[in-house]
Amino acid sequence: MSQGNESVRANMSQAELDLFSNLEDIDVTADGSPALRFLICIVYSVVCAAGLVGNLLVLFFIRVKQDRRKSGVNFFVLNLAVTDLQFVLTLPFWAVDTVMDFSWPFGDAMCKIILSVTVMNMYASVFFLTAMSVTRYWSVASALKNRTAHKSCSAKWVCALIWTLATLATAPTSIFSAVTNVTGEKLCLLRFPGGQYWLALYHIQKITVGFVLPMVIVSISYFMLLRFIHKRSMKTSNPKRMSQVTKSVTIVVLSFFVCWMPNHAITFWSVLVKLNAAHWDKSYYIVHTYVFPVTVCLAHTNSCLNPVIYCSTKLAPNVNKAVISAKAVQFGPWSHIYLNRHRRKMTFTNMSCSLDSL
C-alpha cells in the first residue's frame, strides 16, 4: 500500500475502520513508506545473520563443554540458544512479507506455522531468561550457604515446563491465525470470532505473561543476587569485583527492558483502542504506522543480543569470582588454599564464554 492509500484510509467508512481495528498490529504497518519497509527488511536480515552466528556459537561452546553441562543455567542457555535460533529462522519469511508490502505470499498453512513459531519462541525466550535469573540467585545462595545445588534433572523438568507453557500461550495464535483478504491484499493475521474484545484479551495476555511478570521476576532475582553477594563481599574488601557483577547484571536487565518495553507499550495502547478506552486518532495511526515497526525490529534484536550479552558481559565468571571471594572468608587462614583450588576452573570458564555459570 503506497502513500496514495493514506488519503483513502482517511475517508474510510466506520465499518472499514472497525475492520482495520480488528487486525493484528503487525499489519497496520502496511501504510508505511517504501523506505521504512526497506529499513525493516535490512534489520531483519542483519538480525537473522547475527542471530544464526551467535546462537550457533553458543551451541558450539556448549558442545565443547559437554562434560560440564550438568549446570542448570548452562542447560537453560542451551534451550535459549535453540529458541532464539528457531526464532531468527522465521525472519526471512517476515522480510519477504515486508518487501511485498505486507502481502503474505506463502499460503494459509505457512501463515499458521510461521506466526505460531514466532510467538511461541517469543514466549519461550522470555521464560528461559526468567528461569536463568532465578537459577542464578538460587545457585549463589546455595553455594554460599553450603546447600546442595539443584540437579540437572530439575533443570530438564523446568525446561519441559517452559516449553509446555510457551505452547499453551501460543494456542490462540495457532487456532486463529489465517490468511485474510483485506481490501484486495492477502494478509497473515489473527481473526478472532469475537472481534476487538478477544483480540484485546490476547494482547493483554501477551503483555502480562510475556513481559510484565517476567520483568518483575528478573528484576527481583537479580536485585536479591546483588544484595546477597554485596553482603558477603563486604567481608572480602573487594569493591571492584562487586562493581563488575553490578555492571553485568545491569546490562542483562536493561537489555531485556529496552528491547521489549517499547513494543509492549504501543501494544497496550492498541488494547485501550480496542476496548474503546482510547480513540483511534491521527497520533495512534502515525505511531502504529511508523514507530511500531521499529519497536518490532528492536524486540527481534533481542534474539541476537542474548548470546552476545551472556558471553561478552561475562556475567557468570564475575558472579563466580564474587562467590569464591566471599566463600573464601569462611575458610579463615585456609582461604588461600580454597582460592588456588578454584583458580584453574575459572580460567577455563573465562575461555569458553562462561556458559557453565555458577
Burial class of 153 by CB neighbour count within 10 A (0 to 12, 13 to 18, 19+): exposed
Look at residue 330 and tell me whether its pLDDT is greater than 90: no
Q: Is 246 domain-assigned?
A: yes
Q: Which residues of 304-318 are buried (b: 16+ CB within 10 A; e: fewer)?
A: bbbbebbbebbbbbb
Q: What distance in Å separates the CA atoms of residue 314 and residue 334, rounded to the nearest whole number?
A: 28
Supply the range of the domain harboring residue 346.
4-351
Q: Is 22 domain-assigned?
A: yes
**Residues in Cβ contact with 34 at an 8 Å cutoff, skipping those fewer than 6 apart:** 2
Q: What is the per-residue pLDDT for 232?
A: 66
| CA-to-CA dists, residue 112 to 28, 90, 173, 180, 210, angstroms | 19, 12, 8, 12, 20
Q: What is the per-residue pLDDT for 234?
A: 52
Number of domains in the chain: 1
- Written as nine digits, the cell of 171 is 494456542
Q: How many CA atoms lie within 13 A of 140 on its CB side?
A: 32
- First-to-last C-alpha distance (Å) of the chain: 52
Query: Side chain identity at 173, as an amino acid letter?
Result: T
Look at residue 146 and tell me whether its pLDDT is greater than 90: no
Q: Is 357 domain-assigned?
A: no
Look at residue 300 and tell me whether its pLDDT is greater than 80: yes
Ranked by mean pLDDT, the top range of 6-15, 54-63, 97-106 is 97-106
Task: Provide the whole-model pTM.
Answer: 0.75
79 and 162 in contact (C-beta within 8 Å)? yes
- Written as nine digits, the cell of 291 is 514507530
Handedness of CA 116, 118, 122, 125 (dihedral sign): positive
pLDDT digits (tens, 9 = 90+) for 8-40: 333 333 333 454 444 444 444 444 578 888 888
Over the chain, what is the mean pLDDT?
Answer: 74
pLDDT digits (tens, 9 = 90+) for 253-284: 788 889 999 999 999 999 998 888 888 888 88
Of 115, 250, 239, 109, the C-alpha closest to 172 is 115
pLDDT digits (tens, 9 = 90+) for 74-84: 788 889 889 99
pLDDT category of residue 244 using cuts at 50, 70 and 90: low
Query: Side chain identity at 243, as an amino acid letter?
Result: S
Q: Is 358 domain-assigned?
A: no
Q: Is 284 domain-assigned?
A: yes
Provide the CATH number for the domain around residue 259.
Answer: 1.20.1070.10
Question: What secondary structure, in 3-state letters, does the chain show?
Answer: CCCHHHHHHHCCCHHHHHHHHCCCHHHHHHHCCHHHHHHHHHHHHHHHHHHHHHHHHHHHHHHHCHHHCCCHHHHHHHHHHHHHHHHHCCHHHHHHHHHCCCCCCCHHHHHHHHHHHHHHHHHHHHHHHHHHHHHHHHHHHHHHCCCCCCCHHHHHHHHHHHHHHHHHHHHHHHHHEEEEEECCEEEEEECCCCCHHHHHHHHHHHHHHHHHHHHHHHHHHHHHHHHHHHHHHCCCCCHHHHHHHHHHHHHHHHHHHHHHHHHHHHHHHHHHHHCCCCCCCHHHHHHHHHHHHHHHHHHHHHHHHHHHHHHHCCHHHHHHHHHHHHHHHHHHHHHHHHHHHHHHHHHHHHHCCCCCCC
- Written as nine digits, the cell of 333 is 587462614
Q: Is 356 domain-assigned?
A: no
